[in-house]
Amino acid sequence: MTEVTPTPTPTPTPTTLTSLTATQLLQGYRAGQFSVVDATQAFLSRIEYLNPSLNAFCLIDAEAALASAHRSDARWQAHRQLGAPVGALEGIPVAIKDLILTRGWPTLRGSRTVSADQDWSVDAPVVARLRESGAVLVGKTTTPEFGCKGETNSPLTGITRNPWNLARTSGGSSGGSSAAVSAGLVPVAIGTDGAGSVRIPAAFCGNVGFKPSFGRVPAYPLSPFGSVAHLGPHAMSVADIALTMNVAKQPDARDWTSLPEDRSDYGIGLNDGVRGMRIAYSPTLGYVKNLDPEIRAALDQVARVFESLGAAVDAVDPGFEDPLEITTGLWFAAARQVYDGLSGPNQTQTDPDFQAQAELGSRITAADLHSLNLRRGLLGSQMRQFMQGFDLLLTPAISIPAFAAEPAGHRPMDPQAMLGWTPYSYPFNLTQQPAISIPCGLTRDGLPMALQLVGPMFGDALVLRAARAYESLHPAIRPSLTEVKARG
């Protein structure tokens, strides 16, 4: 009998390491196939190579990341030898949006008005949980000033570009986080979503972006934009989103709006599929007039995919009118409050788009705000009632592919300029429901398209399960490193 020698598993190269998801990295660490230092160095090298073209990071701390990686390797060694416990994200490189407090690093919020020379000794809840889980924090990602718009440009950091086409925007306001994940600079990044700011850039850049139920990921300090502002992860797979959410959703007493502890594991049941689910398919929400034909065709195909997976898909609109006025009214009023809190010289240094929002906010009275909040409450009630008849709502994630990347102030700011082109995202910040954006193909011009799944309030795990069912047939893809660099 001839002895067959097993073929050894190839050791991943730096390039292949940066193509791995967080879930795959954890498998490699557990098997001792490569080290956390190996992976961290690979991601840092890729950041060094590509970030000058993309401008996704505004702060990179290689020294701190490598020190953290060495500590993580020691914990993995103890785990393999002695069975010692490791964190849920042990050794996973993660980036943090520059709106989120991170101990030891300035959080400038994309603004020239925030001084870096002050005490930065506090972690926001999500950052504290990431550290406790063993994640390796590598740096801060770009944001428009105060997260004020759905494209990522600012007088402080300039333009963040789309890895699929550097002439196009990465979206915003979590455009740095999304571009970093899509280009393989990190496997996971944390963003914020006040009117679509996780889902818009995820749709434009071709990665997975999740806005959980409001309060599921605690925030500190609370956003000046109030109870429309959520925190959520970017990744290249739904499994990585579930993994990150298990860490991020841990409670924190500093956030009085946070939800009670959720002890469930979002990874359990993730692959259970959608058979028997009731999905409402609304390609226009009843009011969207300018939906790109390619995106409409792609979403029709998505609906058929869910039917083939055993879901009952009904074409039906939720029955509410476009709540753009509610969103922008609340947003502009908050912008005015932030603007008024700045000194006169600092006001003149702000993004012209933010200044325009503050000016619009100055026209909103207390009576207007009361009316807007009552209208928001009615919308929330309508959606809660609508979701009693369905498990999920399926829509496009955004109505158009990524548009041109331009500097701050490139067009007059008004409600339509701010959010009129993203009519599917902001309604579900108002209603606070969980919603996810996942890729569903490319346009003829090679730009990502995306679907959105919206769940009932607190139905976060259900949204992830349905997203995973679609992803199992149509996984996300990345633009090639060579093409990104060549276009730079």
Which CATH number do you get for residue 218? 3.90.1300.10
Q: Global pTM? A: 0.96
Q: Which tens digit of pLDDT belongs to each residue from 245-276?
A: 999 999 999 999 999 999 999 999 999 999 99
- 385 domain-assigned: no
Q: Can 197 be counted among the known catalytic residues?
A: yes
Ranges of beta strands (E only) in 277-345 are 278-281, 312-315
CA separation for the pair 369, 378 (Å, rounded): 14
Q: Which residues sit opposite 393 in a β-bridge? A: 280, 454
Inter-residue contact 419 to 447 (CB < 8 Å): no
Residue 115 has pLDDT above 90, yes or no: yes
What is the Cβ-side half-sphere exposure of residue 289, based on CA atoms within 13 angstroms? 4
Token code pair at residue 277: 């689910």
Q: Is residue 178 part of a domain?
A: yes
- The end-to-end CA distance of the chain, in Å, is 57
Proportion of the chain in helix, strand, coil states, percent, rounded to 5: 40, 15, 45
pLDDT digits (tens, 9 = 90+) for 292-317: 999 999 999 999 999 999 999 999 99
- Residue 225 clears pLDDT 60, i.e. is over it: yes
Domain-embedded: residue 50: yes
- Our answer to whether residue 472 is catalytic in this structure is no
Distance, in Å, from the CA atom of 301 to the CA atom of 434, rounded to the nearest integer, reads 23
Q: Phi and psi (nearest 5°) for 191?
A: -125, 180
Averaged pLDDT for residues 227-242:
98
Reply yes or no on whether the pLDDT at 84 is more than 90: yes
- Rg (C-alpha) for the chain, rounded Å, is 22
What's the pLDDT at 5? Answer: 43
pLDDT-derived band at 285 (thresholds 50, 70, 90) equals very high
Span 361-398, pLDDT tens digits: 999 999 999 999 999 999 999 999 999 999 999 999 99
Mean pLDDT of 322-333: 98
For the residues of 198-243, what is the DSSP string, one character each? THHHHHHHTSEEEEPSTTSS--SSPPTTGGG-EEEEEESSHHHHHH
109 within a domain of the structure (yes/no):
yes
467 found inside a domain: yes
Is residue 130 assigned to a domain?
yes
Q: Read off the tokens for 86.
A: 């490791």
Tokens encoding 223: 């956003």
In terms of residue numbers, what domain contains 234?
A: 14-270+402-487
Q: Where are the alpha helices (DSSP H) in 109-185?
A: 125-132, 175-182
Pairing of strands 188-193, 93-97: parallel
- pLDDT at site 13: 73
Grouping H, G, I as helix, E, B as strand and the rest as coil, residue 389 is helix
286 lies in some domain: no
Instruction: Give every CB contact of residue 86 below 8 A, 6+ residues apart in sequence.
Output: 75, 76, 79, 134
Catalytic choice (35, 68, 72, 173): 173
The verdict on residue 433 lying in a domain is yes
Coil, strand, or helix at residue 153?
strand
> Among residues 68, 97, 149, 399, which one is catalytic?
97
Q: 295, 402 in Cβ contact below 8 A?
A: no
Q: Per the structure, how many domains does the chain have?
A: 1
* Given the residues 35, 170, 197, 437, the one annotated as active site: 197
